[in-house]
Structure 1
């Protein structure tokens, strides 16, 4: 699905194309016309669009949230008729219904799924059951978002068919009416987005209301990734949200002209992913210093981002595709006088780097993971046994035995693929060695002769010997910390041994444990070398 957003602009652009899976952030000072522009975009596609307004009601009239199918159709018709009025930019005559409707739709889908599974069980259709349960339920998806975003709550449907909240630390159950303003805001936004029909244009105004910076960044990033079948327009006063969601367009709204109460033209600039924002907008919007941690990984919805968001709660974690990008982004900010308000750090994979290289990188505030990669953290024995402890409360068996069996299964698989694993790690080491010694631009300009020979056979043999030693000693953490297990099949083996269908669900469980257990969080932070100052 592709949406063309018409923008009456004093300059360029006049039209913005937005595809499913893409997002655009609107930034600007108070009074610049962002809400008017959001309504303008909505009017162009109101038949296929959903609005989450800045003036939304963030409380529930009753503890029981439920709407019948007939009521749902009538409410939807009324909402859409109201939303095309010009005064809906600042007034909502259906605010109580709007806060309930997303939650009600979410519960309806959860109940539909439960009924479908029950019916399939009755018929004994195991294949269909497997397909239905392979997809996370709506409530599970919301709880995963809360976990990644460091929100200490979960939700569930109780025996009276009401959606209730649970405190992560105690398990105490209470009405969703009693959630904090920020927690209710997160629930309402998540419910409305997750229950939207496929292919919709979803407009979210000020998602950051009542939510701390360390929460809204991972929450919104993962929420957009969950609905990559939809297109998003997000209006915010928080400059850092598009920075945290780096694969996004940014529209800087500078002003708006009106004819009476009707907006007729905007002054705006479009920035594509990776382009810099100007200083004037920074000064209009920002009011405090900022801590950013650049990491290696996919830019949207990655488990790298989820893990580091939990491990470094005081930072906005921004994923960069390559190690080189992390180094350049960190140095670019730390060496810029204009960006003095940002306290930037980088964190890159260990990749068997030399002590001299690590020291040089540290001087530029680029820290090196004391393990090979992020997988080394997720699949370290500390995490494996913590997950085994949790799974032993669900599945029959001793937690320590489950953890040992998972590691033993991984070592057995490794014996069949040890040569390939050693060769991949050797290739990475050779590549790093070459790049460390490659000519600089100054060398090129000066015509400095360059010649470099690498003993490939020797490096490969060294890696094979080291890996063989770890395997013989059954030193799982040694293997995990020094070799790249990402493409070895070992991740799935460990996940299966602990009762998970795949590594993604295993890693989500790890995030949940780190959110709930401060002691485990501290031990895992120590694994990655502590938190940058």
Structure 2
């Protein structure tokens, strides 16, 4: 279902404005900027046209000893409207669900959520029993939301096992006795609550989440919401946050900066550029991780981090900015006696590196991808074909157009690319300088030895030959192996009928969709194999 989501006119006057709702939405703003009240406005403005389910930041996280067992209709109405009788209607939700104070009301519905989860399982079991009796043979068992929660929980919290039994939530830590869910930490309880709320929200609904990062460790936030988005294909999530790290992690979302609230449903707001992102702290990431560590280039929420997090689910991915920081961090962690057991690895762009340099880096646990820049991996033939098929276009024609465009673009700046590659290789050779003895003559001698290995004519010729071969091959993948230009994904958007920059966003969305396996398989050909 396609939603038309609107916000109050940014000028304070006139009709509401439609915003890009092709993906999820992030409302960002400082404390006191009116974010929560804008969330309420969105709920009340849209709930007569769509199903809207809002989760406030003020919520009780107390898990009951036993969930009250109800039938499915009762449980759904209780969670959605705050009551299940004939008065359970949208017009009364602000009273019955929000106590007539939607901005400050303490939402206390954990018991209602658990009742609905158990009711959905009971309904699944009832239908399964009927089907089995009629078929008189094995019938595949579909997952109820509880089954999905157990699987998701195992992915994001591998050190905890959760199960639902006879109206109770039970948890077991590795090698420790089982205990009741009410003894879980705040982070664990809110994770269960948020996953359950999003799974139980009706299909084709808008879910509004106020402070989605609250109580959650930074190492858990991205994993949880990536998985929730993957499981919410028919739903649009509107996040309300003041955490820029969280906002930047929603790479394919439309981000809106809430500047101020003037009362009378008047907000000052503007769209946030896609490039905005902030780095995360390495120490917090390492301490919060239960998995092996992977360092990559880019910042929190960057394309690098998004791809590697999905492509390498057994690793905790930490962006470190430039390649030098990745190399430095990987070596430091691997050489630290107290932390080397984390099995740190690094992944960097090939970025004009010679085979000799690649091998040297591999000895330190640092791998290179098989394209010049991580952005290029979105332009490889396999990725172009997937996007073309998704858009119901001819994949062969799309690949031909993209190949011709990339080849022409490279040819137009060939001298720049050749000299840039040569420059990078000369810099690498200069990095091998060392004095031959501990005196002035040792410095001179060492420099002379280094310079003797730098033949500019030979290096230039070798680089030119690499580019000439790539262009002559008419192979898109070979062109992307050497062509160093970050803007390529944005520049090819128009070739597939997309707005500038939309190609990359669409592919990120496909990475979180049922097509994820096909996209990851396509990209893995250009990514290193890791344990």
Q: TM-score range by the shorter chain?
A: 0.5 to 0.7
Give the equivalent residue in structure 1 for 2:93: 80
Structure with more relative contact order (C-alpha pairs < 8 Å, separation 6 or more):
1
Taking the aligned partners of 2:74 and 2:304, their CA distance within structure 1 comes to: 37
Taking the aligned partners of 1:527 and 1:287, their CA distance within structure 2 comes to: 27
Would you say 1:8 and 2:45 are equivalent positions? no
Let me know the Cα RMSD of the aligned residues.
5.2
**Which structure is larger by alpha-carbon Rg, 1 or 2?**
2
Cα drift, residue 444 of structure 1: 8.7
Give the equivalent residue in structure 2 for 1:169: 174
- Structure 2 contact 72–120 (Cα < 8 Å) conserved: no
Taking the aligned partners of 2:99 and 2:71, their CA distance within structure 1 comes to: 26
Match of 2:103 among 85, 89, 96: 89
Cα drift, residue 232 of structure 1: 0.9
- Structure 2 contact 251–303 (Cα < 8 Å) conserved: yes
Residues 33-52 of structure 1 correspond to what in structure 2 (within 5 A)?
33-47=34-48, 48-52=51-55
Taking the aligned partners of 2:304 and 2:297, their CA distance within structure 1 comes to: 13
Cα drift, residue 196 of structure 1: 1.1
How has the CA–CA distance of structure 1 residues 265 and 81 changed in structure 2, closer, same or farther, with 3 Å as cutoff?
closer
TM-score by length of 2: 0.55
Residues 32-431 of structure 1 correspond to what in structure 2 (within 5 A)?
32-47=33-48, 48-69=51-72, 71-72=74-75, 73=77, 75=83, 77=88, 80-82=93-95, 87-92=101-106, 95-96=107-108, 98-124=109-135, 129-130=139-140, 133=141, 135-150=142-157, 152-158=159-165, 161-170=166-175, 172-258=177-263, 263-271=264-272, 274-276=274-276, 293=296, 305-306=309-310, 308=312, 310-312=314-316, 315=318, 330=322, 347=347, 354-356=354-356, 358=358, 367-368=366-367
How has the CA–CA distance of structure 1 residues 301 and 333 changed in structure 2, closer, same or farther, with 3 Å as cutoff?
closer
Q: Secondary structure at the match of 2:208?
A: strand
- Structure 1 contact 245–299 (Cα < 8 Å) conserved: no
- Structure 2 contact 296–348 (Cα < 8 Å) conserved: no
Taking the aligned partners of 1:333 and 1:266, their CA distance within structure 2 comes to: 41
Q: Which runs of 5+ in 1 are unaligned?
A: 318-328, 335-344, 373-430, 461-501, 508-525
Cα drift, residue 269 of structure 1: 1.7
Cα drift, residue 217 of structure 1: 1.1
How has the CA–CA distance of structure 1 residues 300 and 368 changed in structure 2, closer, same or farther, with 3 Å as cutoff?
closer
Give the equivalent residue in structure 2 for 1:29: 30
Q: Across the two proteins, how many residue pairs are aligned to each other?
A: 363
Q: Deviations 1:15-73 (Å, cap 9, x if unpaired)?
A: 243546x2111112111111111111111122410011000111124333434456433
How has the CA–CA distance of structure 1 residues 175 and 451 changed in structure 2, closer, same or farther, with 3 Å as cutoff?
closer
TM-score by length of 1: 0.55
- Structure 2 contact 29–242 (Cα < 8 Å) conserved: yes
Taking the aligned partners of 1:368 and 1:49, their CA distance within structure 2 comes to: 45
Runs of 4+ residues over 6 Å off in structure 1: 286-292, 297-303, 331-334, 359-362
- Structure 1 contact 213–316 (Cα < 8 Å) conserved: no
Taking the aligned partners of 2:284 and 2:181, their CA distance within structure 1 comes to: 32
